[in-house]
Amino acid sequence: MENEVTKAQYGRVKGASWFPLLYKKDILVLGQGGIGSWVSLLLSRIGCNLHLYDMDTYEEHNMSGQFVTREYISSPKVYAIRQLISEFSPDCELVDAYEEEYTIDSLTNNVTICGFDNMIARRIAFDKWKAQLSIDVDKSTYFFQDGRLLAEQLQIFNIPGDKPNLIERYEKDYLFDDGEVEEAECTFKQTSHCAAMIASHMVGFLTNWIGPIKQVPFFFEYVIPINYMKNDKS
C-alpha cells in the first residue's frame, strides 16, 4: 500500500489503520441531500469508490444545508456531486452517478449508507441490503448505516451484518411509517454545520467498524440546542 498510494491527497491519511481497508472500496451512498452530499465528499477524501443515487435536482434553498455551489442549482444532484468531488478530491478515481429513483431493481452493496429523508426509501434500501446479506456466507463484510437529520438534531443507526440482534431491532423498532414522523417547520429544516456534523460522525463510525477497533454504537443521537447526546452501544 505504501508504494501503491503516492498521490498527495492521501499523504496525511494513509497511515491510518483503516485506510487500506477503505481505499478504493465500493461504497453505496443513497441520497445526495443534506446527509449524502457531505458523506460523499468526506469518503472521496479517503479514496473510496462511490456509487451515488438521487433522482432530484438542486434548488437554491438547498444551499442552506447541502454541499452544493450556486453554479449547480437546477442540476441533477448526483452529477453535481460527482463534479464537485472532481474539484475537491481530484484523486478519487471512481464516482458512479445514478439519476434515478432507488427501487427494488437498483444496485445494492455490502456497505450501504442511507441518507434518504423518507421511510419508504429507507425500507427498500434496507430490504435489498438484508436480502444480499442473507445469501452471503461472510456476514462480517456487511454494514448498513442510516442517517436522519433535522436542522439541529441528528441520529445515526449502525448495523453490522454479523449482528443479527441489531438487524432485528432496527427493522422492528425504527423502520416505521412516514406518517409517524413529525414534520419540521419548512423554513428551518437544514443547517450546513449539522449536516457536516452528521456526515463526519457517520464516516467516523465507518472507519471504526472497518478498522481494528470494531466498535460502533447501534444508535447515536445529538441535539444541539440542549447539548444532549445519546450513545446506545447495544
The answer to whether residues 219 and 155 touch, using CB atoms and an 8 Å cutoff, is yes
Rounded to a whole number, what is the distance in angstroms from the first to the last CA of the chain? 35
Kind plus residue range of the DSSP H or E element containing 88: helix 77-88
Give residue 189's domain range: 8-232
For residue 106, being part of any structural domain is answered with yes
For residue 3, being part of any structural domain is answered with no
The answer to whether residues 61 and 36 touch, using CB atoms and an 8 Å cutoff, is no
The answer to whether residues 32 and 40 touch, using CB atoms and an 8 Å cutoff, is yes
For residue 156, being part of any structural domain is answered with yes
Beta-bridge partner residues of 47:
none
- For position 8, what pLDDT does the model report? 84
CA dihedral 52, 53, 59, 61 (to 10 degrees): -80
For residue 211, being part of any structural domain is answered with yes
Q: Order the strands of the 26-30 sheet from edge to edge.
A: 95-98, 49-53, 26-30, 111-114, 143-149, 153-160, 219-223, 228-232
Give the CATH number for residue 124. 3.40.50.720
- For position 1, what pLDDT does the model report? 45
For residue 2, being part of any structural domain is answered with no
Number of domains in the chain: 1
Q: Tell me how far apart the alpha carbons of residues 234 and 225 are, in angstroms, rounded to a whole number.
A: 26
For residue 17, being part of any structural domain is answered with yes
DSSP structural state of residue 94: -
For residue 95, being part of any structural domain is answered with yes
- For position 187, what pLDDT does the model report? 75
Kind plus residue range of the DSSP H or E element containing 127: helix 119-134
Please give the chain's pLDDT, 234 residues, in tens: 444 545 888 989 999 999 999 999 999 999 999 999 999 999 999 999 999 999 999 999 999 999 999 999 999 999 999 999 999 999 999 999 999 999 999 999 999 999 999 999 999 999 999 999 999 999 999 999 999 999 999 999 999 999 999 999 999 999 988 665 566 566 788 899 999 999 999 999 999 999 998 899 999 999 999 999 999 987
- For position 9, what pLDDT does the model report? 87
For residue 30, being part of any structural domain is answered with yes
Q: Give the three cell numbers for residue 67.
A: 454541499
Residues 6+ apart with CB under 8 A from 24: 47, 48, 49, 93, 94
Question: How are beta strands 26-30 and 49-53 bridged, if at all?
Answer: parallel
CA 158 to chain CA centroid, Å, is 11
